[in-house]
């Protein structure tokens, strides 16, 4: 399927501005297909964080949600970090505030504090270490000897990491509304329709959904798994944008959504038009205050080191 004429013109303008401004475009796997197509790098939060920390571009345009752009700003303070739509937030990240985390820490003063990257810069500044869905288990394993571990904000990712490592965690009652739309019965129905397909599921999903799936993986992990798998059919239980990402990378394999309802409205706010406008007008800039950035960077650096 070719690129339509209107999109072709937009892409030409975007490419021209990118060169003029020495910009790089980072795109999360959940973005619209046409936005994924213009990525310099496409991937999950951990992979894109690594790129943001190393790039020599002057401008980082992050096609994702606000916490991702904030992470880029934390890692690259001397670069201009843009997000094409300033309304692209993350409901899960909004489920815990700095003040709430400080109160939880006071209840457990000896606890190590681990936080999912899906959190605000202010919350990251109160963490000992950050993690993504790709390395949450590795992070908990790394600090398993700690007397207590707080894990915020995602109770489902935290529960999964706890089960795998055998370490009891102090969990916050946060969750991803999009992944909550993926029900066990959706997966069972998809399996009935596609009996040869393996089910790849994101650990932000419920324990019940994980239980009826084959592989529990981050979006980056899904890409790696499909690449090495001899199977050529997969049911994908995560945000729907991942289907486009996998179809692009593996055109000879077949991918089926666990449910068409798993759409993150915030991830779909980015369009080619507002990418262009963002580069034209250098908006919307995401800049983390320096005192917050320095504290948050320690937690993010540890996440990248553990990998």
Q: Model confidence over 252-304: pLDDT tens digits? A: 999 999 999 999 999 999 999 999 999 999 999 999 999 999 999 999 999 88
Domains of the chain by range and CATH?
Answer: 5-89+267-288 (3.40.50.10800), 93-176 (3.40.50.10800), 179-257 (3.40.50.10800)
Residue 53's pLDDT band (boundaries 50, 70, 90)? confident
Residue found under tokens 């370490």: 167
Q: Model confidence over 225-248: pLDDT tens digits? A: 999 999 999 999 999 999 999 999
- Using a cut of 0.75, tell me whether the model's pTM lies above it: yes
Give the residue from 178, 203, 217, 202 showing the smallest Cα distance to 89.
Answer: 178
67 dihedral zone (left: phi>0; alpha: psi -120 to 50; beta) = alpha
Give the helix/strand (H/E) hosting 81. strand 80-82
Q: What percentage of residues in the chain have a pLDDT greater than 90? A: 93
CB proximity list for 97: less than 8 A, separation 6 or greater? 120, 122, 123
Residue 45: what pLDDT?
82
Lowest mean pLDDT among 2-6, 8-12, 192-196, 200-204: 2-6
Residue 241: what pLDDT?
97
- Rounded mean pLDDT, 191-205: 98
Q: Helix %, strand %, coil % for the chain, to 5?
A: 45, 15, 40
Q: How many Cβ atoms sit within 10 Å of the Cβ of residue 100? A: 15
Helical packing angle, 290-306 and 66-75, nearest 10° = 90
Angle in degrees, CA 180, 181, 183, rounded to 5: 90
Residue 2: what pLDDT?
52
Specify the 3-state DSSP secondary structure of 22.
coil
Averaged confidence pLDDT in the chain: 95
């Amino acid at each position: 399927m070719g690129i339509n004429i209107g999109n072709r013109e937009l892409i030409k303008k975007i490419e021209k501005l990118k060169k003029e401004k020495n910009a790089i475009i980072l795109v999360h796997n959940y973005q619209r297909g046409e936005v994924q197509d213009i990525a310099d790098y496409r991937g999950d939060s951990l992979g894109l964080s690594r790129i943001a920390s190393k790039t020599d571009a002057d401008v980082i345009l992050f096609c994702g949600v606000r916490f991702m752009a904030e992470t880029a700003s934390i890692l690259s303070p001397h670069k201009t970090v843009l997000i094409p739509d300033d309304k692209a937030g993350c409901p899960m990240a909004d489920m815990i505030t700095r003040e709430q985390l400080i109160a939880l820490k006071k209840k457990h003063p000896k606890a190590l504090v681990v936080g999912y990257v899906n959190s605000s810069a202010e919350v990251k500044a109160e963490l000992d270490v950050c993690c993504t869905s790709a390395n949450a288990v590795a992070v908990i394993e790394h600090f398993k000897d700690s007397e207590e571990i707080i894990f915020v904000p995602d109770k489902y990712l935290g529960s999964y990491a706890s089960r795998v490592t055998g370490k009891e965690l102090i969990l916050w009652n946060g969750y991803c509304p999009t992944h909550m739309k993926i029900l066990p019965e959706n997966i069972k129905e998809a399996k009935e329709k596609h009996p040869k397909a393996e089910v790849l599921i994101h650990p932000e999903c419920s324990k019940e959904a994980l239980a009826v799936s084959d592989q529990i993986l981050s979006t980056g992990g899904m890409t790696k798994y499909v690449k090495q798998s001899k199977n050529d059919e997969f049911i994908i239980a995560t945000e729907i944008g991942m289907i486009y990402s996998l179809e692009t990378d593996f055109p000879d394999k077949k991918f089926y959504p666990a449910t068409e309802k798993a759409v993150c409205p915030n991830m779909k706010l980015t369009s080619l038009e507002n990418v262009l406008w963002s580069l034209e007008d250098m908006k919307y800039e995401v800049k983390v205050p320096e005192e917050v950035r320095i504290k948050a960077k320690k937690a993010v650096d540890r996440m990248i080191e553990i990998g």
